[in-house]
Amino acid sequence: MLTHPLTSQPASEFASDVRAGLTKPQKELLSKYLYDDVGSALFEVISLLPEYGLTRADERVLRQNAYEIVERLPLPMLVAELGSGSGRKTRWLLKALARRQHTAYCPIEISPTALAMCKRELGDIDSISIVGFEREYLDGLAEVTERRKGNQHLLVLFLGSTIGNFDRPAGLEFLRQIRRTLCPGDSLLLGTDLLKPVPQLIDAYADSLGVTAAFNLNLLARINRELDADFVLDQFEHVARFNAQARSVEMHLRSKRTQSVTIAAAGFSVKFWAGETIWTESSHKYSREEVYQMARDTGFRCEAQWVDREWPFAESLLVAE
C-alpha cells in the first residue's frame, strides 16, 4: 500500500523494483536482490547446513557421474555456466572434460565477487582456460556463442536448481530462450531439486540456526543500506511455507505489527498490517518425468538423467533438437 509519495523519480532499477513490488496487493521483492555480497555469503553458509541438502546433492551427482556425463558430450566443446556461484561443483565436470580436451569455460555471473571466487576456485585445473562474463544470464550467453569457433559445440550448465526460482511458465520461457541461442546438438545440463516430504522441505528453508532467516532479512537490511530505508529488522520474521498448488517452497517476511516504513531513495512510504507478508522467493520442486516434459516443451530432448539417492535431486542432460 502506497501511503505518501515523497519524490516521483526512483533512483535506480533496484529502487523502482522495490517500489513496484511493495505496492502490489501481495507485497513482493524480487529474489535476485537477495544476493548482494552479504546475501551471497549467507547462501554459501546455507549450502553447508545439515537441513539444506540441495547443494551437496548437486555436487555429489556431478562428482559421481562426471565421466559418464562428459562421455556423452560431442567434442570439441565450449562450456558456459549460468550463475557459477563459487564454482565448487563445476570442478568435477571440468576435470573430467580436461582429460578429453583443452576446454574454454565461460562462467556468467552478475556478481563480480562470485566471478572472482569462481576463478580462484577453478583456476588451478590444467587444460581449462576461464573467461568470465559479468552479465545477466542471457546477455552473457549471447556473447559466449559469438566466441564459438568452427565446429565447436556448446554445453550450457544451469545447476543448483536455480530454475526453481522462476515460476513454472517463466522457467519454461527461460529454457526456450536458452534453446534459441543454441544450435541443434548443443547441450544443456540442468539441475533440478525434486519433490520430497513437506516437513523436510520446510526444514531446508527454515533451518534451526536461523541462517536462512538472516539471508531473507538481509534483503530488508540491503534496502536500508542502499535505499536509505528504515525497516526495523526485528519487526519482521522469516516464514517458509509450502505452496501445494505451485509445488514450491515460498519464503516470506512477515510484519510482526502494523507499521510504516519509508524508503527514501525510492521516494515512498509503505504501510504493513500485523501479519502481512512480503513474498521474497519461491523454490519450485519437480518430478523426474516433469523434467523430460519440460525438455520436450522447449525444443530439447532429455537424453539422460542422474539422480542423487540421499537427497532427491536430478541432473538432466538436455540436447537441443
- Residues 130 and 243: their CA atoms lie apart, in Å, by 40
- Long-range contacts for 45-49 (Cβ within 8 Å, ≥24 apart)? 45/211, 46/207, 46/211, 46/212, 46/215, 49/207, 49/209, 49/211, 49/212
**Contact set with ligand AVI (CB under 6 A):** 46, 54, 160-162, 164-165, 205, 212, 281, 283
Q: How many CA atoms lie within 13 A of 31 on its CB side?
A: 16
Q: At closest approach, how far in Å is the CB of 161 from ligand AVI? A: 5
Q: At closest approach, how far in Å is the CB of 32 from ligand AVI? A: 10
- Looking at residue 228, what DSSP letter applies? -
Q: Which is nearer to ligand AVI, 306 or 313 (CB)?
A: 313
Q: Which is nearer to ligand AVI, 55 or 269 (CB)?
A: 55
CB 189 within 8 A of CB 65: no
Q: At closest approach, how far in Å is the CB of 281 from ligand AVI? A: 6
Q: Which is nearer to ligand AVI, 54 or 302 (CB)?
A: 54
Q: Which residue's C-beta sits nearest to ligand AVI?
A: 283
Strand segments (E) across the chain: 27-28, 77-82, 103-109, 128-130, 133-134, 153-158, 187-193, 236-243, 248-255, 259-263, 268-272, 277-284, 300-308, 313-320
* DSSP assignment string, 188-226: EEEEEEBP--HHHHHHHHS-TT-HHHHHHHHHHHHHHHH
Q: Which is nearer to ligand AVI, 249 or 266 (CB)?
A: 249
CB 182 within 8 A of CB 188: yes
Q: Which is nearer to ligand AVI, 169 or 184 (CB)?
A: 169
Q: At closest approach, how far in Å is the CB of 205 from ligand AVI? A: 5
Q: At closest approach, how far in Å is the CB of 98 from ligand AVI? A: 27
Q: At closest approach, how far in Å is the CB of 221 from ligand AVI? A: 16
Q: At closest approach, how far in Å is the CB of 83 from ligand AVI? A: 8
Beta strand pairing call for 236-243 and 248-255: antiparallel
Q: Which is nearer to ligand AVI, 68 or 173 (CB)?
A: 173
Asked if omega into 76 is within 30° of 0 (cis), the reply is yes
C-alpha cell at 51: 537441513
Q: Which is nearer to ligand AVI, 109 or 186 (CB)?
A: 109
